[in-house]
Amino acid sequence: MLSYYVVLRSVLRIKPWLRKCLARCRHCGIFFLTDRRNAGRQDLGCPFGCSRAHRQKQSTQRSVAYYQEPEGKVKKQALNARRRKKPQPAEPLPVPPGLRPFLRYLCVMIGLIEGRPVQLWEVIEMLERTARQHRMVRTRRIDQSVAWLHEQPP
Ligand SMILES: [Zn+2]
């Protein structure tokens, strides 16, 4: 979490105009960047799951109330029958579910920095590229040490 604030702070230092987009989650109090259109709003939830959890709670309350009515009960039985028959669609992205809110947030942040809409797969590609480069640097360093040991045996 600390490194998140470090990134956020350095982003704001490089792009001071994004300060306008800084918002605070009304559920957990974390600061985050939001879309320009939401700037100045006080009722936002952070992109780390709070707003989704909140929405889910509301919709659960709504459907509980609805399905307690007789008309709703019939609908629910039909819905359940359909749900049993239809297989659930597979997730298209090979990303652990816990990581997805963070990736979606990276999307928003990179989009704000670059001033264009950024897709989730672009962020994943970007991260994969970075990870690959790190691995390459590490391997090169090991190769160099091995070469050095050959030249100067201990
Ligand atoms: Zn939150």
Average pLDDT for the chain: 77
Taking the centre of ligand 1 as the mean of its atom positions, its distance from the CA of residue 142, in whole angstroms, is 42
Taking the centre of ligand 1 as the mean of its atom positions, its distance from the CA of residue 65, in whole angstroms, is 26
Cα separation, 137 vs 142, in Å, equals 9
Cα separation, 115 vs 107, in Å, equals 11
Residue count of the chain: 154
Cα separation, 13 vs 94, in Å, equals 33
Query: Stretch 11-36: mean pLDDT, rounded?
Result: 86
Taking the centre of ligand 1 as the mean of its atom positions, its distance from the CA of residue 6, in whole angstroms, is 18
Taking the centre of ligand 1 as the mean of its atom positions, its distance from the CA of residue 66, in whole angstroms, is 28
Q: What is the reported pLDDT for 148? A: 73
Give 128's Cβ-side CA count (13 Å radius): 8
Residue in 112, 123, 118 with CA at minimum distance from that of residue 34: 112
Taking the centre of ligand 1 as the mean of its atom positions, its distance from the CA of residue 146, in whole angstroms, is 48
Residue in 28, 20, 72, 70 with CA at minimum distance from that of residue 48: 28
- Degrees to nearest 5, angle at CA 113 with 107 and 114: 85
Taking the centre of ligand 1 as the mean of its atom positions, its distance from the CA of residue 42, in whole angstroms, is 12
**Model-level pTM?**
0.43
Given a cut of 60, whether residue 100 has pLDDT beyond it is yes
- Among 20-29, 42-51, 55-64, 92-101, the range scoring the smallest mean pLDDT is 92-101
Taking the centre of ligand 1 as the mean of its atom positions, its distance from the CA of residue 30, in whole angstroms, is 6
Given a cut of 50, whether residue 20 has pLDDT beyond it is yes
The two three-digit tokens of residue 62, written as one number = 């709504």
In this prediction, residue 129 has a pLDDT band, given cuts at 50, 70 and 90, of confident
Taking the centre of ligand 1 as the mean of its atom positions, its distance from the CA of residue 85, in whole angstroms, is 36
Given a cut of 60, whether residue 93 has pLDDT beyond it is no
Q: What is the reported pLDDT for 85? A: 65
Cβ atoms of residues 26 and 43 within 8 Å: yes
- The H-assigned helical ranges of the chain are 2-14, 50-67, 70-85, 100-114, 120-151
Taking the centre of ligand 1 as the mean of its atom positions, its distance from the CA of residue 131, in whole angstroms, is 28
Q: What is the reported pLDDT for 91? A: 47
